[in-house]
């Protein structure tokens, strides 16, 4: 059982989010669990990174990648820009409870859940809510949407509108 916050942000907004992670004393990881500086995270071409609370646990799969379900990491999926004048939705997502074994349902630590909730609240506070109330858009992305007629795309190429 997970939580997600979906959004449209620009590269500048991404930098502000990464700086907030660093300010809180947390880390940014690549998909293999390697720590990245804010500068390296911004320069990374990976579409997915992780936010990590230093007192939590990082569990890796047999293939050496961060296990999204059992690790105390928040998955950060970047907004895509494959088509000119469009932004594809990004998100933060975290598994909050998971099956450790067939009969063992495990909840992650309260501190981890608080970290997710804080980041989700920070994104929402610095954004506008979509008309369908499923996405948030940063002020800079909103300006592109309003002034330059940029299109905000949800998965399956659904157009998301804002007031």
The sign of the torsion formed by the CA atoms of 19, 22, 26, 30 equals positive
Residue 125 confidence (pLDDT): 97
At 98 the pLDDT is 82
d(CA 100, CA 76): 23
Q: What is the pLDDT of residue 16?
A: 96
User: What local confidence, expressed as pLDDT, does residue 53 receive?
Assistant: 83
- Average pLDDT estimate for 38-58: 92
- Supply the pTM of this predicted model: 0.92
- CB 72, CB 56: distance < 8 Å: yes
What is the predicted pLDDT for the residue at 105?
A: 82
User: Is 96 in contact with 3 (CB distance < 8 Å)?
Assistant: yes
pLDDT digits (tens, 9 = 90+) for 91-134: 999 999 888 777 888 889 999 999 999 999 999 999 999 999 99
Q: Provide φ and ψ at 43, rounded to 5°.
A: -75, -20
At 103 the pLDDT is 80
- Please report the pLDDT score of residue 1 as a whole number: 78
Give the length of the chain: 163
Residues with Cβ within 8 Å of residue 41, at least 6 apart in sequence = 18, 28, 49
Quote the percentage of the chain above a pLDDT of 70.
100
> 3-class SS at 33?
coil
- Predicted local confidence at residue 87, as pLDDT: 94
User: Residue 82: is its pLDDT beyond 90?
Assistant: no
């Amino acid at each position: 059982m997970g939580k997600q916050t979906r959004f449209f942000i620009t590269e500048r907004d991404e930098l502000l989010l990464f700086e907030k992670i660093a300010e809180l004393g947390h880390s940014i990881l690549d998909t293999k669990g390697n720590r990245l500086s804010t500068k390296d995270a911004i320069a990374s071409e990976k579409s997915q990174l992780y936010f990590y609370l230093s007192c939590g646990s990082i569990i890796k799969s047999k293939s050496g990648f961060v296990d999204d379900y059992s690790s105390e990491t928040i998955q950060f999926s970047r907004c895509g820009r494959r088509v000119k004048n469009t932004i594809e939705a990004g998100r933060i997502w975290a598994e909050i409870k998971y099956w450790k074994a067939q009969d063992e349902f495990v909840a992650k630590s309260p501190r981890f859940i608080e970290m997710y909730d804080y980041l989700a609240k920070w994104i929402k506070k610095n954004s506008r809510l979509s008309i369908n109330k499923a996405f948030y858009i940063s002020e800079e992305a909103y300006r592109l949407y309003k002034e330059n007629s940029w299109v905000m795309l949800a998965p399956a190429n659904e157009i998301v509108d804002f007031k």
